[in-house]
Copies of this chain bind each other. A is one copy, B any other.
Amino acid sequence: MSKRNAIYAQSGGVTAVINATASGLIEAARSHRDRIGKVLAGRNGIIGVLREELIDTSKENRSTIQRLRETPGGAFGSCRYKLTNPTPDDPDIQRLFEVFAAHDVGYFFYNGGGDSQDTANKVSKLSQQLSYPVQCIGIPKTVDNDLSGTDNCPGFGSVAKYVAISTKEAALDVASMSESSTKVFILEVMGRHAGWIAASGGLAGEGANEPPHLILFPEAPFDSSKFLAKVEATVGRIGYCVIVASEGVQDGDGNFLSDAETTDAFGHAQLGGVAPVLANLVKEELGLKYHYAVADYLQRSSRHIASRVDVEQAYAVGRGAIAAVAAGKDDIMIGIERLQDKPYRWRLAHVNLSKVANIERKVPRSFRTKDEYGITARARRYLQPLIRGEAYPAYRQGMPRYAQTKNQLVAKKLRHYEVG
């Protein structure tokens, strides 16, 4: 096997630990110099690959690559861009293989969610059709945890830990003040189609009286009178009520609550978001004082409180991707296989990419309580290990010392190409 270069691209929304995957992959590649030349990272993901904007990661020194393990965001940039029509005649595909050939690329690592696994799968097939040999490996990443073929997704455990801790902390605040102040607190979290992140809020407490008192899943149609009755009963019983709401909450007709338009003082249409819509409902119908938080990007970038298990797994799938190509593998995703809940044990697995592509995994009914407002013991057994352990970054003068990569591009060899 001759020495060939690798392309690594991050795809879709970034996470607190996707750079740990990059770190694992680059470190492992450096220990396979006999077979793997340079790891070229697509600047802003696949867009950069198509534009031939390839970051030469060999210019990054060892300590930077090491520190990527504790740096959130996507150091080389990411994007939402889908190769919509991966056939040999598609201009994007032709360009992709031109870039591969121009830079002697024999390995393609695509680090993302369902779409990326699908693309990696198709590129692998095309590589055979076009007789240009490139080993394609999918590496899982998504805070939504909705990827099939793996027990869980790197990125999710850290969001889950952030949401569980934030729910617990905010609930202590609300409980302290509820006698004379806020009675209802709503935390809006990510997860437009799958409620894994909302579910993780359930780890903040257990039993009817411990917060969160209601979790709103996108999997369960929102019923406002049932919701209001439960909020009112909770406030009546313990004086306050904490709600974790997925941004993807939908009514019985499948309309997102967050799509309810409001009109601002200037007459502009304004998207409501789930938290303000729920808060307004609580105020208007129950007359209760509310507060709400919208975690937004904070939840998926909160490396300062990442789950140690998540960081380890994110790093491991990066290393595992290199081990896989070194073993001659192609057209697979590096998955995580759970061997045991207690004590938690896991290992890497090789999953056929055709089995992964574009199957969205939702929170199963058995993980949601009968009334649809909580998580079951089964859900706890699944979720709990994923938030285990802390993996604090290094600090200087009170702030985390996150890595700053140079992101130096290799010289272009091809003509200009317009993407999109």
Residues of chain A at the chain B interface (Cβ within 8 Å): 10, 13-14, 16, 44, 47, 71-75, 77-81, 161, 164-166, 168-170, 172-177, 179-181, 185, 187, 203-204, 260-266, 268, 270, 272-273, 275-277, 280, 284, 291-298, 300-305, 307, 384, 387-390, 392, 395, 397-400, 402
Contacts and interface: CB of A to CB of B under 8 A. Distances in A.
Contacts of A276: 264, 270, 273, 276
Which of A79, A187, A265, A390 has most B Cβ within 10 Å? A265
Contact of A384 (B47, B307, B398, B402): B398
Given A165-B399, A276-B276, 14 more contacts: A44-B176, A73-B176, A74-B176, A165-B400, A166-B302, A168-B399, A168-B402, A169-B400, A187-B298, A260-B264, A261-B265, A384-B397, A387-B398, A387-B399
A180 B390 CA distance: 32
A293 B291 contact: no
A46 to B, nearest CB: 10
A261 B179 CA distance: 27
Contacts of A397: 384, 388
B72 A173 contact: yes
27 contacts: A13-B177, A44-B176, A44-B179, A47-B180, A72-B169, A73-B169, A73-B176, A74-B177, A77-B177, A79-B177, A79-B179, A169-B301, A169-B304, A170-B297, A170-B301, A173-B301, A174-B297, A262-B263, A264-B272, A270-B280, A273-B276, A275-B294, A292-B296, A293-B297, A384-B397, A387-B399, A390-B392
Contacts of A280: 264, 266, 268, 270
Which of A74, A284, A298 has most B Cβ within 10 Å? A298
B180 A80 contact: yes
A73 B398 contact: no
B293 A295 contact: yes
Nearest to A279: B270
Contact residues of A: prevailing secondary structure: mixed
A353 B250 CA distance: 54
A73 to B, nearest CB: 3
A187 B294 CA distance: 10
Contacts of A284: 266, 268
A268 B224 CA distance: 15
A181 B80 contact: yes
Contacts of A295: 293, 298
A390 B172 CA distance: 21
Given A203-B399, A398-B387, A262 B260 contact: no
Contact of A161 (B180, B268, B384, B398): B398
Contacts of A176: 10, 14, 44, 73-75, 77-78
Nearest 6 A/B pairs, CB to CB: A73-B172, A74-B176, A293-B296, A387-B398, A169-B301, A260-B265
Contact of A169 (B10, B185, B270, B298): B298
Nearest to A205: B399
